[in-house]
Each structure stands twice: as C-alpha cells, then as structure tokens.
C-alpha cells in the first residue's frame, strides 16, 4: 500500500485576513476559504468559494484578490 499524497494548499494575506486556496481531493477542484468575523461580539464563520477548476496558479491569484478585498473592506470600516 502506497503512501498518501499531501493535498495542495496555499495561504495568502496577513493573520486575520488570510485566505487559503486548497484542494479537498488529490487533483480535484480547488476551493477558497477565509474567516468572516461576527458582528456585535458574536463569533464569526468560515466563508467558502468553489473555484470549479484545478489550475493552482489561478487559485493562488484568486486568493490574493480576495485577500486584497478583505484588506480594503477592513481599512474602509476602520476609517468610517
């Protein structure tokens, strides 16, 4: 019996604004995951997005785009 392969993942962004691109099955479709904090002291939740492709470079770029959007939203809410 062979050794199981490690699944691919890529983390992008600063702590608290980190986005992870990953595969759930070997050579399967890729997904994004990031943390959405709760409002008024409640806990947060994980947000997921299915990318519906297996291109790892495109998944890493999509993770960078989502991380940039999270940073922009966080900075906008801090100044408001």
Q: What is the mean pLDDT of each run of 10 residues along the chain (80 residues)?
A: 88 92 94 86 88 96 95 82
| CB atoms closer than 10 angstroms to residue 31 | 17
Q: How far apart (Å, rounded) are the C-alpha atoms in residues 65 and 80?
A: 23
Please check whether residue 51 is in contact with residue 31, taking contact to mean a CB–CB distance below 8 angstroms. Answer: yes
20 belongs to a structural domain: yes
Range(s) of the domain holding residue 14 = 9-79
70 belongs to a structural domain: yes
8-state DSSP, 78: H
| Residue 73: closest CA among 16, 31, 21, 32 | 16
Q: How far apart (Å, rounded) are the C-alpha atoms in residues 9 and 26?
A: 11
According to the model, what pLDDT value does residue 74 have?
A: 82
1 belongs to a structural domain: no
Predicted structure pTM score: 0.84
Please state the domain count of the chain. 1
For the chain, state the CA radius of gyration.
15
């Amino acid at each position: 019996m062979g050794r199981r392969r490690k699944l691919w993942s890529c983390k992008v962004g600063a702590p608290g604004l980190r986005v992870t691109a990953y595969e759930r099955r070997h050579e399967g479709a890729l997904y994004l995951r990031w943390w959405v904090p709760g409002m008024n002291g409640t806990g947060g939740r994980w947000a997921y997005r299915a990318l519906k492709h297996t291109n790892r470079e495109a998944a890493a770029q999509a993770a960078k785009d989502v991380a940039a959007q999270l940073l922009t939203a966080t900075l906008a809410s801090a100044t408001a």
